[in-house]
Amino acid sequence: MARNKFDIDENLESPFNIKHFKRALVYIRKQQKPMIIAFLLSAISAGVALSAPLIIQHVVDVTIPSKDKSALLFWSGMTLLTIIVSVILATIRSRIMTRVGQDIIFDIRTDLFKHLQKLPFQYYDDRPQGKILIRVVNYVNSVSDVLSNGIINFILEILNLIFIAIFMFAVDVKLSFVILGGLPIFAGVILLIKNKQRRAWQAVSNKSSNMNAYMQESISGIRVTQIFTREKRNEGTFTRLSTNYRNVWMRAMYFNFLIPFSVDNLATIVTTAIYFVGLITLGPEEITFGVILAMSSYAARFWQPILNLSNLYNSFINAVSYLERIFETLDEPVTVSDIPNARTLPPIQGRVTFDNMTFAYDPGHNILENLSFDIKAGESVALVGPTGAGKTTVVNLISRFYNVSDGRILIDGHDVAEVKLESLRSQMGIMLQDSFIFSGTIMDNIRYGKLDATEEEVIAAAKTVCADEFIREFENGYMTEVNERGSKLSQGQRQLISFARTLLANPRILILDEATSSIDARTERLLQKGLNELLKGRTSFIIAHRLSTVKNCDRIMYVADKGIAESGSHDELIAMRGRYYRLYTAQKMEA
C-alpha cells in the first residue's frame, strides 16, 4: 500500500476540527486542580507586576518634584518587592506546570500504547514502524506544553490584556486608543496566513514522519546494508528526506516568525505614536511627562501579551498538526476485537473446522476462497505448498489475527469470531518463523507467555526443546541478559528460546510456522524427540518447506490455488503422484 513507504506522505483521513481540541480537554480536566492553582499564582503575579508603572508615574510626577527622599526610598522598595513577588510566584507556577505537562504526556502516551496493543495485524502491515513510533513519542511531546501551559497562558494573557486596558484607560483615554490602533492591522496579518501556516506544519509532520520511518528501517536493516555495501546509496536517500524536512521546516518557520515580526514593529510604531500624540498633538499643558512614561510602559506591556498570544497561536497551529495524527491513531478502528456479549471459550480439546471460509487482505483480492476442512482433536497437520499460497494465513486465521471475509472457523464447535480473544489465544501456542527476543534475561523471555511459571518449569521447557545445554554454557545461564531481538544469540538459539516460550504455555493447539528452519540437522533430530512427546494429545499445525520434517504428520495439506489442492497422509499423497509428490521428489533429488 502507498502508506507503507517511507517516501510517501500520509494523508489525513479527515480534516482537523475543533472537536479534536475538545477531546484534548479530557486530559486537561484530569489536571484541573493544579492548573487552577497555577493560574491563580500567575494572575496574582501579573497583578503585582502591573502596579509598577503606576508607581513610576507617581514617583515622576509627585515624589521627585517634591524632593521627598524617604518616599522615594519607600517606592523604590515597593518596586523591588513587586519584582521579587512576581519571580517567586512565577517559579512556583513553573514547577507546578512542569509536573502537569508530564502527567498529560503520560496519559496521552498510555492511551496511545494501549490502543496500539489492540490494533490488528492489518494496521501494522500497512504502515512503517517509524511512522507509528513518532506519533507515540515525538508528537505527544510536542502537544503537551500547549495542553498544559498553553491553556493557562492563553487565559492569563487575555486577562492581562483586560487588566492592562483598564489601567491604560484609567491613566489616559486618548493615548489608550492610540495603543489600540494597531490591533486591526495585526488581525489582518493573522487572517492572511493562518491557513498557509497550518498546511506548512502539516507538511513538517509528514516529512518528519517519513524521515523517522526511514531511520527506523535503516537501523533495523543495518546488517543487510553493510553486506551489500549500500551505505552511500542510503546516505543519498536520507539526505533527500532530510533536505525535504529542512525545506518544509524553513517554510513553516517563515510563517512563525512573521507574526512576532509584525507585533514588534507594531509595538514600536505605537510607542512612537504615543510620544508624537502626547508631546506634539496634545501638548505638554494637557499631559504630564509621568503620564507619557506610564502609557509608553503600558504600551509595551499591552503588546507583550499580544506577542505571547501570537507565539501561543504558533504553538497551537503546530500542535494541531500533531493532534490530528494522535487522534487519527486513537480513532483507528479495532477491527479484530470481542463482539458484544462474546463468550469465554471453555477449555478446548482442539478440533478445528473451516466452514466455507473466504479471506482477503484487500477487498476483491481473495487469498483463500470457500475453504473447508475438519481437523480432529490431537491430529497433527502439515501445511505445505508454494510461497505466498496462504499457509501462514491459515494459521493466523485460526488465532483470529484477522477477520474472515466470509464463512466460519470453529474450534470445538465454537465460532472463533464469537468468543473472547484472550480465552482463544491463551489456549494456543504459536511459534513464528521470525523469532522475536525481547530485551531482558533468557529466563524472562521463556517466561514471557506464562509469568507465573516456576524456574523448574522454565528449565523443563528448555530441556524439551534442547535449549538447556547452550543456555548453561553462558556465564550467567538462564539469567543472561540479551539485547532486543537477541542480537547476542544465533538465529538457531533464538528459535529454540522462542520454542521453549511457546511450549511453556502448555497450549491445546500448537502452531509451528517454519519453527525449525534455522536449527541445524543434529539439533533438529534431538528437538524432534521432544516434540513427538509434546504433540501427543495436542492439535498441531506445522508449516514447513522441508518436507522431510512433516512426513510423520497425520495429515498433509497442499495449499495452492486459494484452497487445499491435495490432502492426505504422506503415503497417500505420494501414491496420488500429484503436486506433493512432485515437490517431495524434487527435494529428495536435491538432498
pLDDT > 90 in the chain, percent: 18
Q: According to the model, what pLDDT value does residue 281 have? A: 61
**DSSP letters of 532-555?**
HHHHTTSEEEEE-S-GGGSTTSSE
Give the residue-averaged pLDDT of 536-549: 82
How many C-beta neighbours within 10 Å does residue 192 have? 11
Residue 497 clears pLDDT 90, i.e. is over it: no
* CB neighbour list of residue 207: distance below 8 Å, 6 or more residues apart: 9, 241, 244, 245, 248, 249
Give CA–CA dist 190/261, Å, rounded.
12
User: Alpha-carbon distance 287 to 282, whole Å?
Assistant: 7
**So what's the pLDDT on residue 73?**
86
**Which comes out higher in pLDDT, residue 62 or 463?**
463
| The pLDDT value given to residue 356 | 95
| Whether the predicted pLDDT of 526 surpasses 70 | no
Right CATH number for 17-330 from 3.40.50.410, 1.20.1560.10, 3.10.450.40, 3.40.50.12240? Answer: 1.20.1560.10
Residue 477, Cβ neighbours under 10 Å: how many? 14
Least confident interval from 155-159, 454-458, 495-499: 155-159
Contacts of 302 by beta carbon, 8 Å cutoff, 6+ apart: 161, 164, 165, 168, 179
3-class secondary-structure state, position 41: helix
Q: What is the pLDDT of residue 1?
A: 35
Q: Is the pTM for the entire model greater than 0.75?
A: no
Mean pLDDT of 336-344: 91
Most confident of 91-95, 206-210, 397-401: 397-401
Percent of the chain with pLDDT over 70: 88
Average pLDDT over residues 127-147: 76
Among the ranges 210-214, 390-394, 483-487, which has the highest mean pLDDT value? 390-394
pLDDT for residue 15: 53
| pLDDT over threshold 70, residue 520 | no
Distance of CA 65 to the CA centre of its chain: 65
What is the band of 398 on the pLDDT scale with cuts at 50, 70, 90? very high
Task: Specify the amino acid at residue 177.
Answer: F
pLDDT of residue 525: 66
Each residue's pLDDT tens digit, 413-443: 999 999 999 899 888 888 776 677 888 889 9
Interatomic CA distance for residues 186 and 313, integer angstroms: 13
d(CA 255, CA 193): 7
Select the more confidently predicted residue: 10 or 122.
Answer: 122
Residue range 23-34, pLDDT digits in tens: 777 888 888 888
pLDDT over 60 at 591, yes or no = no
Flag whether pLDDT at 540 surpasses 50: yes
Instruction: Tell me the backbone φ, ψ of residue 293, rounded to 5 degrees.
Output: -60, -45
Q: What local confidence, expressed as pLDDT, does residue 75 receive? A: 83
Q: What is the model's pLDDT at position 30?
A: 85
pLDDT at 270: 77
The tens digit of pLDDT for each residue in 289-312 reads: 777 777 777 777 777 777 777 777
Instruction: Specify the pLDDT at position 522.
Output: 65
Residue-averaged pLDDT of the chain = 81
Four-CA torsion 155, 157, 159, 162, nearest 10 degrees = -140
What's the Cα-to-Cα distance from 155 to each of 38, 180, 259, rounded to whole Å? Answer: 12, 20, 20
Q: What is the arrangement of strands in the sheet containing 352-362, beginning at the earlier edge strand?
A: 365-375, 352-362, 406-411, 414-415
Q: Does residue 539 have a pLDDT over 50?
A: yes
**pLDDT value, residue 2:** 38
pLDDT band of 16, cuts 50, 70, 90: low
More confident residue, 544 or 356: 356
Task: Please tell me which residue, 459 or 325, carries the higher pLDDT value.
Answer: 459
